[in-house]
Amino acid sequence: MHTQPHLSKRGDVYQWRRKTRRFSTEIIDIKLSLGTTDRHQAHILARKVSAESDVIMEQIIGSRITPEHGRAFLAEVIRKERTKIARLGMLSRVDNLDPEDDARHDAAMAEAWGRIATHGLNHSVSAEASDLVHGNIDLIRKDLASEPRKLALRRAFQEHTGQNHLSALEYAQVMDLYVSGKAKAWAGDTPTRDLKAKAPPSAPTDPALPLSTLRAVVERMNAIKRTEGIEEKTLRQYQSFVALFTMLTGHDDITQVRQPDVKAFRADLARLPKSWGKSPTDQASTRDEVMAKAAALPLDKVGLSVGTINRHLDHLNQIADWARDEGLPVDPNLKPTKLRRKETVRARDKRGAFSVEQLREVFKNPVWTGSHSERRQTKSGQQIFKNGIYWCPLIGAYTGARREEIAGLAPTDIVEIDGVTCLSIEDSELRRIKNLSSRRLIPIHSHLVDLGLLDHIEQARNNNQNSLFPDLYEAGNDAFGRKVGRRMRQIIDQQLGADGAKLSFHSLRHYVQNQLDHTGVDDKVVRDIIGHEGKDIHDKDYRKSSPPEAMAEAIELLLKVTWLPLQRYFDATS
């Protein structure tokens, strides 16, 4: 057994086993039964498997393929070689006229494969090579360049790795494996070529390098972004992206992701239900479950928007760049943003803005005119429940504030500045603001006061509430805004039907900006109310915020979009 270091016996059956180290603490152990009790046949099989395993081990160590892929490939080599040995053994018994001629042909084939593996497919064959070697090299060249061989190699790669896409780089490496494996199989155990020059980036062998899982990279990235004041909602989007990408592709390691994986991911995004991610149960779904759900939906309910798909690709690109900066061996050909889809709609047309008439129709919903019950708030009845669903859209219509900015208000966020009662939009325990320009004061419209908002605030203070709208909090999402967003969608569909398809809670923000612009309010005042950054360095760095009085005057120009409830209605919270 000393001539075959990886050959051993288990009972009467021979087996092949090889170990190697990938990380400082991880051992790759591949063990296969050779399925034979014949010593001579076992030596032949072990020699061929060992030759192939040199290349496979290089790929496993480089994390190009997994140990499972390596085992599958080697098992297939054993199966094919056993069939070939049996067939050749039968032929030798039937036709054994010139054993020396057989040996000469075998030596010429070994030399041909060795020359191609060492010098490349298109090298000039030296004159001293025999005619038989020349002929074999010509045959090999034609075979490797043929479409059937290319298809066979792609099919073999897919069968052994389970991946349906093969990039040009990966195909070159598969071809490299094939040629090197053939050469080593014909030459025995002697390596004929060093593949390291063409190997993909190595997996981290330095124990000081950070974990390369997508979740770990995002956690480290978000920790830094959080110190920079990035909104918590944005940070959660990265976490949600990781769950989605892992679910669809099966990859959870950034060093394993290749460009074809990203192409497949993008294609899957166009097949997802439009509502994916809005339910906490989505995070626990499998790919098959999600696709089965999508298949049962109407076409208009399937496929994420171009903007959402591009945002996911941008997230992956940021994660890859972050991992590269940390020293992780991310594939240099991984460029997710190259796959961004072209927008077919102008940015200003993506989200509609309410007209005054549309908004007045929305506020005729039972939420503001009389509900059946708090649970069935959009069904007509005799009670008005002044909860978060009631107040948030009203505040949005008279301030232009973002959904989370309103839903996450605390009683302490209502302040009086220079005699003007304002909402103070700041970072808090309940919500984080989007950026520095989002930190602002917004005067409260007099109609909100008439409707009882200040009374609601005072009641929350008396009850020692941390939040103005505790009914909006969802523990599963650790957020306040999603519940009112879903209910606003329901209300718009109920009141406007197909005419409200492009409208959402965010459309309130566009409505306020449009109305202020159309009434001639100074652009600087509009930006200070909405929370947009200055248009130039002078505005950004030197101009102070507009005084509360000026903003209050602008806010009061917004038309009333609802009315005080009639006396016949009973206010359930008064």
3-state SS, one letter per residue, for 435-497:
CHHHCEEEECCHHHHHHCHHHHHHHHHHCCCCCCCHHHCECCCCECHHHHHHHHHHHHHHHHH
SS3 344: coil
Q: Backbone phi, then psi, for 104, in 5-degree steps?
A: -65, -45
CA 259 to chain centre: 13
Write the pLDDT tens digit of every residue in 32-63: 777 777 787 778 777 777 766 655 555 554 44
Whole-angstrom Cα distance, residue 423 to residue 463?
20
Tokens of 528: 């200070």
pLDDT (0 to 100) of residue 542: 43
Whole-angstrom Cα distance, residue 185 to residue 78?
12
Write the pLDDT tens digit of every residue in 238-248: 888 998 999 89
SS3 557: coil
* Mean pLDDT across 406-421: 91
Contact 327, 209 (CB under 8 A): yes
Write the pLDDT tens digit of every residue in 311-351: 999 999 999 999 998 888 899 999 999 998 876 555 444 56
pTM for the full model? 0.47
Closest CA to 279 of 485, 498, 500: 485
CA 231 to chain centre: 19
Closest CA to 259 of 161, 167, 159, 158: 167
Whole-angstrom Cα distance, residue 509 to residue 403?
9
Could you give the angle at the alpha carbon of 84 between the alpha carbons of 44 and 125, nearest 5°?
80
Write the pLDDT tens digit of every residue in 150-193: 787 777 766 655 666 666 656 666 676 677 667 766 665 333 33
7-10 β-sheet, strand order: 7-10, 13-21, 27-33
Burial of 368 (0-12, 13-18, 19+ CB in 10 A): buried
Whole-angstrom Cα distance, residue 325 to residue 319?
10
Whole-angstrom Cα distance, residue 378 to residue 503?
18
Domains of the chain: 1-90 (no CATH), 124-189 (no CATH), 214-344 (no CATH), 356-568 (1.10.443)
Whole-angstrom Cα distance, residue 14 to residue 291?
45
Looking at the predicted structure, is the pLDDT value of residue 95 above 80? Answer: no
Most confident range (mean pLDDT) of 107-116, 413-422, 523-532 is 413-422
Mean pLDDT for all residues in the chain: 77
pLDDT (0 to 100) of residue 458: 94
Write the pLDDT tens digit of every residue in 241-286: 998 999 898 888 999 999 988 998 998 898 888 887 767 667 677 8
